[in-house]
Amino acid sequence: MDPSAPSGSSADASASSSSSAVEDLAPGMAAMSLQDRFELLRGIGEECIQEDELMNLLQKKPVPICYDGFEPSGRMHIAQGIVKTINVNKMVRAGCKVKIWIADWFAQLNNKMGGDLKKIQTVGRYMIEIWRAAGMNLDGVEFLWSSEEINNRANEYWPLVMDIACKNNVKRIMRCCQIMGRNDSDELTAAQIFYPCMQCADIFFLKADICQLGMDQRKVNVLAREYCTDIKRKNKPIILSHHMLPGFKEGQEKMSKSDPSSAIFMEDDEAQVNLKIKQAFCPPNVVDGNPCLEYIKYIVFPWFEMFEVVRKEANGGNKTFTNMDELIDDYKTGALHPADVKPALAKAINQILQPIRDHFNNNSEAKILLNTVKKYRVTN
């Protein structure tokens, strides 16, 4: 097996079959009301631009196309692994076809993995394997490699990119550089300045009805809607931006791959998970800016639909929370203490991650991918 090839793996075989399988989603979707489908999709987003357009889309189009994408850039943290799995499965359940854009060329433009495309593609296949093990519903998903798709339809893609570039000035494009994890003070290459024009073009190239990306990608998604105004296109992409999980340290608004202690990674073992959560910022009675509570809200409750606390009778006894509001109320009053929260959170996260660990231990192809990516981490 060649772990650097972008195609030919078991993950790619699943992806190629999914485009036909997704057409069979409509019968299952028919059991849901229009309002139920709307609420399921709307629940994914911290922000939705525009809610009325989303409802109208669901009324008129039986199988809307949702676009998500990622740069294969190394280790996968739990927000990318588990939160994406939760969100994609909701989109599929709501009757959508999900196109996941494996942005290998974009990672190269952004100098990820030293700009080595073969290594980037290996990381991409490793990430797909994680989602498979995590339980992502691949019947409703189509994985598309940006390098292959753009090469195959270059006459369609590049004129679109150039038109977007022509209709925007450098200052407007520079405001979108946050999508690459860059800020105004970074010294950008010309390739990185061109990146937002390409990401904007992706939305139209993939014929996406809904852009389902993080809040950190909001600016380029808004750029796509503004481009529609420029070209007088009536149907604008609906922006469904999900919440960004914070890092474990105080004041960390976003997880950092460069700081392993700031987040749970999909390959972390049980002891690592326990230690990171034990050391996490979790002040008593304080809800805002509390990363442990955010993990519970955005990972544990969507996964298990409950949060189970095991403690001695002297400390209040065992309690199972069935909604986040109840948990927050107890936490604010002190009835629920960080010493209760942290071991319960660690146990829940380890339960979620155990099937992924088992998959990479027991599946020979997955094990090769993981070991190859680990070597990249060392050499890079």
pLDDT value, residue 2: 45
Are 246 and 294 within 8 A, CB to CB?
yes
pLDDT digits (tens, 9 = 90+) for 280-297: 999 999 999 999 999 999
In terms of average pLDDT, the best of 103-117, 161-175, 344-358 is 344-358
pLDDT value, residue 230: 94
Res. 179 pLDDT band, cuts 50 70 90:
low
pLDDT digits (tens, 9 = 90+) for 75-111: 899 999 999 999 999 999 999 999 999 999 999 988 8
Res. 146: pLDDT tops 80: yes
Res. 176 pLDDT band, cuts 50 70 90:
confident
Rounded distance, CA 335 to CA 329, Å? Answer: 8
pLDDT value, residue 320: 96
pLDDT digits (tens, 9 = 90+) for 233-257: 999 999 999 999 999 988 887 777 7
Q: Please tell me which residue, 378 or 137, carries the higher pLDDT value.
A: 137
The distance from CA 296 to its chain's CA centroid, rounded to whole angstroms, is 17
pLDDT value, residue 80: 92
pLDDT value, residue 3: 42
The domains of the chain, with CATH numbers, are 34-242 (3.40.50.620), 270-375 (1.10.240.10)
Given the DSSP bridges, would you call strands 65-70 and 210-214 parallel, antiparallel or unpaired? Answer: parallel
Rounded distance, CA 213 to CA 88, Å? Answer: 11
Angle between helices 364-379 and 338-362 (to 10 degrees): 110
Res. 332: pLDDT tops 90: yes
